[in-house]
Structure 1
Amino acid sequence: MARTDPPYLRIAAEIRRRITSGELREGDKVPSTRLIIAEWGVAMATATKVLATLKRDGLVVAKPGAGTVVASRTRKAAPKTEAELSRERVVKAAIRIADAEGIRALSMRRVASGLGVATMALYRHVTAKEELILEMADMALGEIRFPPEPPSGWRAQLELMARAQWALFRRHPWLAQALSITRPQPLPNLLTHADWATRALDGHGLPPSTIMYAHITIFNHVRGIALNFEAEADTESGTAVTADAWLAEHEPILWDLVSGGRFPNFAGVVSRAPFDYDLDTLFEFGLQRLLDGYSVLLAKSG
């Protein structure tokens, strides 16, 4: 049976063709994630992997204010000798692989292959895959630069943080899995997020323990929903079935279960307001409800 490439590779191949044929020239905008979703009918996770693959191959770059554009053909090539390696380059190469192929595809051998060096060369910079993943997580978290002057009010400050984290998890679908709530990793850039959240909540009369619980709760809300990014990407790359196609196949089964009368409350609610399995909607709904609850908590402490 012929092998079928996952959707993100087929779409990336088509955009690559447009670039190499001259249809898209240096500096031209390439299809955004939204345009990819609209043109090919795939999910956000797939569209994100398309652009990550093209970036990994050096075909496109992110240009501030313009989006993702066709890269210059004269860009410096990735390091090809062990002497050119550094810890930063190893970590960046690993991030590119995890963005495009998922955290399960990551290995020291895979990173070395992408850099064109022997696997043993990596061990001068990172001692093991586990250390590499921590370095990747810290570098990714460092992409967020909080403003030196925070917006007015604790709620605006927490919203800024949560939405920045949500966008970060979207760019790096593997990141949510790399972080732990029960076993927090000693990552400097993760502590930057904690410092921002605790500053927003401190000084309002809340006990220190409550401030910590509130900070962890909101971070885990963002991370918890973001865990679906990697799972969705893994499923699509393995089965070539989009989220919409999966729902089209399984929704009738759900309705057969619901229509039998065993779950009247659930059936009644869903029939009056069909539910949209949209992760952005779930994130925003949960964020606002959490912050509403924090408002009550702060009012009681004042």
Structure 2
Amino acid sequence: MASSADQQPPSRRAWGSLSQARIVAVALEIARTEGMEALTIRRLAADLGASRMALYRHVADKEALVDLVMNAIAEHDVVPPGIDEGPWPHRLRLLATAMRRQLAAYPGVVDVLMTRANHGPGALHLVETILAILADAGLDERQAARHYLIFIDLVLGRLHRELHGDPIAAHRTASLVALADKAGGHPRLRAAEPHLRAVSSEEIFEAELDMLIEAVKAAKS
């Protein structure tokens, strides 16, 4: 039988002890371990041991909470240390790899980014970092703007496909080969089959970055 102590409701925080920094830290932990779908004002209040009304003094609503979390990820996780050092191709690749890895660590974040913009200071720092790398590559403002958009599309698009239905996934290759077996013929597909199966998402990502880097080099020449 549960003791009276076990039946007590969770203790509430002392008045004035809640801060936006603490709210964001706990929200990030929920997003990292359970995904953005689990991040609600009710859940956050429970984890903080605070009332929802106490949270609303720091965060206006769920949309504002998501904005805070997205900004914190961009500000603290995405841009790696040493991003200002070394040749620009190395820096661009380093940033792309960090973005893909860190955004994947928060389930549901890339889905949010595909449907809404992140306009916080962390996002602005990320954009400025990308544009600075492209400027160091020798691109003018028009070229840098174009290749910035290509970079964002490449990184977010590849990650979104990896999480929600990658056209290079092994099961898609298997179904294609099975169809060829049933239809007969198609010698080139049969010869390519083992090589198609061997290609990983990581290799595709690196190859796409190679192509982007070559496109940047061509644009400045």
TM-score by length of 2: 0.77
> CA 1:296–1:143 in structure 2 vs 1: closer, same or farther (change >3 Å)?
same
Larger displacement relative to structure 2 (141-150 or 126-135): 141-150
Residues of 1 paired with 2:51 and 2:113: CA distance? Answer: 29
Tell me by how many angstroms 1:269 deviates. Answer: 5.7
Tell me by how many angstroms 1:133 deviates. Answer: 0.7
Q: Which residue identity does 1:132 align to in structure 2?
A: L
Residues of 1 paired with 2:75 and 2:187: CA distance? Answer: 45
Contact 1:173–1:229, Cα closer than 8 Å, also in 2? no
Give the match's secondary structure for 2:177.
helix
> CA 1:213–1:81 in structure 2 vs 1: closer, same or farther (change >3 Å)?
same
Q: Which runs of 5+ in 1 are unaligned?
A: 1-78, 233-245
Matched, 1:100 2:33: yes
* Corresponding position of 1:212: 145
Deviations 1:201-253 (A, max 9, x none): 22665341220121121122111222256548xxxxxxxxxxxxx967x8764
> CA 1:150–1:269 in structure 2 vs 1: closer, same or farther (change >3 Å)?
farther
* Corresponding position of 1:125: 58
Contact 1:173–1:230, Cα closer than 8 Å, also in 2? no
Corresponding residue pairs, total: 206
Tell me by how many angstroms 1:188 deviates. Answer: 0.9
Matched, 1:224 2:157: yes
* Corresponding position of 2:13: 81
Within 5 Å, give how 1:149-188 maps onto structure 2: 150-180=84-114, 184-188=117-121
Matched, 1:271 2:193: yes
Contact 1:99–1:174, Cα closer than 8 Å, also in 2? no
* Corresponding position of 2:3: none
Contact 2:137–2:217, Cα closer than 8 Å, also in 1? no
Q: Which residue identity does 1:142 align to in structure 2?
A: E
Within 5 Å, give how 1:253-264 maps onto structure 2: 253-261=175-183, 264=186
Which protein is richer in helix relative to its size?
Answer: 2
Q: Which residue identity does 2:24 align to in structure 1?
A: V
Residues of 2 paired with 1:265 and 1:110: CA distance? Answer: 56
Tell me by how many angstroms 1:137 deviates. Answer: 0.7
* Corresponding position of 1:66: none
Tell me by how many angstroms 1:266 deviates. Answer: 7.3
Give the match's secondary structure for 1:275.
helix
Residues of 2 paired with 1:281 and 1:82: CA distance? Answer: 52
Contact 1:82–1:121, Cα closer than 8 Å, also in 2? no
Contact 2:26–2:48, Cα closer than 8 Å, also in 1? yes
Moved over 6 A (4+): none
Deviations 1:15-43 (A, max 9, x none): xxxxxxxxxxxxxxxxxxxxxxxxxxxxx
Deviations 1:276-299 (A, max 9, x none): 47433332222122112222222x
Q: Percent identity?
A: 23
Deviations 1:31-83 (A, max 9, x none): xxxxxxxxxxxxxxxxxxxxxxxxxxxxxxxxxxxxxxxxxxxxxxxx95153
TM-score by length of 1: 0.58
Q: Which runs of 5+ in 2 are unaligned?
A: 1-10
* Corresponding position of 1:138: 71
Larger displacement relative to structure 2 (272-281 or 219-228): 272-281
Contact 1:174–1:230, Cα closer than 8 Å, also in 2? no
Give the match's secondary structure for 2:53.
helix
Residues of 2 paired with 1:219 and 1:189: CA distance? Answer: 15
Matched, 1:284 2:206: yes
Tell me by how many angstroms 1:149 deviates. Answer: 7.4
Within 5 Å, give how 1:36-51 maps onto structure 2: none
Give the match's secondary structure for 1:126.
coil
Residues of 2 paired with 1:154 and 1:283: CA distance? Answer: 18
